[in-house]
Homo-oligomer: A and B are copies of this chain.
Amino acid sequence: MPSPPPPPVAAARDGDVRAVARLISLVEDESASLRQVMAALAPHTGHAHVVGITGSPGVGKSTSTSALLRELRALGRRVGVLAVDPSSPFSGGALLGDRVRMGDHTTDPGVYIRSMASRGHLGGLAWTTPQAIRVLDAAGYDVILVETVGVGQSEVEIAGLADTTMVLLAPGLGDGIQAAKAGILEIGDLYVVNKADRDGAGRVSRDLRSMLALAGRRQGGWEQPVLQTVAQTGQGVPEVVAALDQHLAWLRETDTLTKRRSARARAEIEAIAVAALRARWGDVGGHAELESLADGVAAGTTDPYAAADRLLEHG
């Protein structure tokens, strides 16, 4: 078998969209060559503004992503989009729709759109998403929009990955503000009430502002704006882009950007280290030990803590 071609790092940096696609496939496939690829990309990272976009199903995440993409392109910025799919047995259909809606950008070389699937076993999206961001960053995209499909722990993780997290809401989803109580106040750098042409949008905005004020959630001087859009028509979208730019400027001024990116790198390093350990535990040598420990726990002759201690001693 011929040795595989060298990873297309240089081509990706030159703006070759196919080379970018191949690199992200290496990430998704957990390729052995990732190690060299990431080493080659490292010096070129740190320039992109990573924006997480999240919200409940039905708030219009894909339409908003698409509208933002259009606005950013009109300003001449190169944009990467990662649509994060938690690879659910039950959510397979949604992203096809997204891709179709984003189809009008497919011939624009300044745009790269990718649906991320967590096929692998090492650590799922916690592992692949930051590396895909790294690829797009090194490839020179100015803004990377990371859209999460919606429900679950995944978007909380995404909030940790982004420089700026944008939380979408919409009127008429019943428990919009209930949901807000449950946790979105902790993750948003800006809030966008989409479908602002519908009844109740003003109320959602007012309620959210009151709650943010009550919670005193100013993050070291950044007061989270609450904006309104009609993503379908583009109304309010330029204001969202302006707010994203303001947040990035604030992140830079206060050195929060460095702190957030270090935290992101820390999580990434940990995920890779843990994956390496799991692989080691699953290796021929360690395998027998872990298997026999597991048999002992299943049989009730030992407990999982004592077993973990022994794994760490010998692993």
Contact = CB atoms under 8 A, between A and B. Distances in A.
B182 A92 contact: yes
Interface stretch (A104-112, A201-209, A221-229, A269-277): A269-277
7 contacts: A42-B301, A90-B155, A90-B179, A92-B183, A93-B175, A118-B153, A151-B151
Interface in A30-50: 34-35, 38-39, 41-46
Interface in A257-271: 258, 261-266, 268-270
Given A46-B299, A152-B88, A297-B42, A305 B34 contact: yes
A295 interface: yes
Interface in A123-154: 124, 130-131, 134, 150-154
Contacts of A269: 290, 293-294, 297, 304, 307-308, 311
A191 B161 CA distance: 37
Given A151-B91, A151-B151, A290 B278 contact: no
Contact of A277 (B42, B299, B312): B312
Interface string A175-189: 100111111101100
B38 A303 contact: yes
Contacts of A262: 291, 294-295, 297-298
B272 A184 contact: no
A302 interface: yes
A151 B277 contact: no
B151 A303 contact: no
A300 B178 contact: no
A115 interface: no
A56 B45 CA distance: 39
Contacts of A308: 269-270, 272-273, 276
